Amino acid sequence: MSRARVHNFAISLDGFGTGEGQSHEAHFGHAGERLHEWMFATRWWRPGGSGGVDDAFVQQYDPGIGAEIMGAGKFGHPGWHEDPEWKGAWGPNPPFHTPVFVLTHHTRPSIEMEGGTTFHFIDASPDEALKTAREAAGGKDVRIGGGPTMIRDFLAAGLVDYMHTVLVPILLGRGVRLWDGLEGLEENYEIEATSSPSGVAHVTFTRAGS
């Protein structure tokens, strides 16, 4: 079975997955890199990093993934679709190494990058996008890549089989919320919280039978 999986999705204690004021220079707005410092400290991110529970969770990011779907806001700052040269913020060899489907109303020809990543641009519902990505994944799982708005849409549509969120002990106060409009989500998942010595808490959602 090909599952739809969310990994390493960090949110502040007050529920924001992205800060306010996203731009080319500030991919997460006023949140800066504060939502991801726990990740930068792992050996998955850098040699010599920690090998504890934070690392155990991030190590699951790649294995078994055959394609990713991401929102337009993850592919670039607001207005990227007006720049015909924009190829994402990850350099010539992006860290996906699979087909990546970018959800956008401004479609453009696919872009083949180094290392196995190809960006495809589709204007599709969550359900349609997942069908397309599953075909491209060749039986493997599909990563639901974020940001918060598209993850919320996929959750609301009942399309997510596994979700790993990371509660970071900061209060952003403003930005884009993950949780809006998802009342009763727990009825479809086994939810487990795991605190880490780094200060974050990993909260995983596993759908029954997936």
Check: CB of residue 126 under 8 Å from CB of residue 155.
no
Identified binder of a copy of itself from the candidate list 43, 140, 185, 206, rule CB under 8 A: 185
CA dist 128 and 107 (Å) reads: 15
Least Å distance between CB 90 and a copy of itself? 29
Min separation Cβ 191 and a copy of itself, Å: 4
Identify the residue among 32, 51, 158, 199 touching a copy of itself (CB under 8 A): 199
- One-letter-per-residue 3-state SS of the chain: CCCEEEEEEEEECCCEEECCCCCCCCCCHHHCCCCCHHHHCECCCCCCCECCHHHHHHCCCCCCEEEEEEEHHHHCCCCHHHCCCCCCCCCCCCCCCCEEEEECCCCCCCEECHHHCEEEEECCCHHHHHHHHHHHHCCCEEEECCCHHHHHHHHHCCCCCEEEEEEECCCCCCCEECCCCCCCHHHHEEEEEEECCCCCEEEEEEECCC
Cβ 126 to a copy of itself shortest distance, Å: 19
Interface with a copy of itself (CB under 8 A), residue total 28
89 binds a copy of itself (CB under 8 A): no
The answer to whether residues 4 and 130 touch, using CB atoms and an 8 Å cutoff, is: yes
- Residue 170 found at the interface with a copy of itself (CB under 8 A): yes
Question: Please, which residue, 122 or 156, has the CB nearer to a copy of itself?
Answer: 156
| 157 lines the binding site for a copy of itself (CB under 8 A) | no
Q: Between 14 and 114, whose beta carbon lies closer to a copy of itself?
A: 14
Stretch 107-126 residues interacting with a copy of itself (CB under 8 A): none
Subset of 4-33 contacting a copy of itself (CB under 8 A): 13-15
Q: How far apart are CB 173 and a copy of itself at their closest, in Å?
A: 2
What minimum distance in Å lies between the beta carbon of 27 and a copy of itself?
A: 19
65 binds a copy of itself (CB under 8 A): no
52 is an interface residue for a copy of itself by CB under 8 A: no
Torsion 163-164-170-176 (CA) sign: negative
- Provide the binding-site residues for a copy of itself, judged by CB under 8 A: 13-15, 167, 169-174, 179-186, 191-196, 199-201, 203
